[in-house]
Amino acid sequence: MENNAYAVKQFDGPTKRLVQTLDLEDQPELIAAYRHLHSEQGVWQQVLDNIRAAGLLEMEIYLLGNRLFMIVEMPADLSWDEAMTRMARAPRQAEWEQLTARYQRAAADATSDEKWHLMERIFHLY
């Protein structure tokens, strides 16, 4: 597979995709630290468990400069608001949000749902 091309998982039932964006502070050392927090060595297992427990099937974060793009696959019948409420109440989620907030251009006490902004799809090749 080409560099920067990623396999897409297929799910048994109908799904929906949400895409969000968030900017990091534009400082190379902070961006490097944020990248590490999201690496296999840096991410907390509890955060991964929280994402799954909220009902999300797959989550990817992409980086370009200091701009992040998050792609989320979830069951078609799951409400985004419901999933975000579950995550906000999950163990250690508030602690993770406080940790990552120092790297993000967002209010220090913002929840994940408040920091990340849903994007509008304006084109899709069918």
Diameter over CA atoms, the chain: 41
pLDDT value of residue 2: 76
- Whole-number CA gyration radius for the chain: 15
Rounded CA separation 25/14 (Å): 36
Which domain, by its residues, includes 52? 16-118
Q: CATH number of the domain that 84 lies in?
A: 3.30.70.100
Is residue 95 situated within a structural domain? yes
pLDDT tier at 108, thresholds 50, 70, 90: confident
- Whole-structure pTM value: 0.90
Residue 69 lies inside a defined structural domain of this protein? yes
pLDDT of residue 33: 98
Asked whether residue 27 is assigned to any structural domain, the reply reads yes
Examine residue 1 and state whether it is found in any structural domain, yes or no: no
Q: Is residue 8 part of a domain?
A: no
What's the number of domains the chain is made of? Answer: 1
Does 80 map to a domain? yes
Residue 1 clears pLDDT 60, i.e. is over it: no
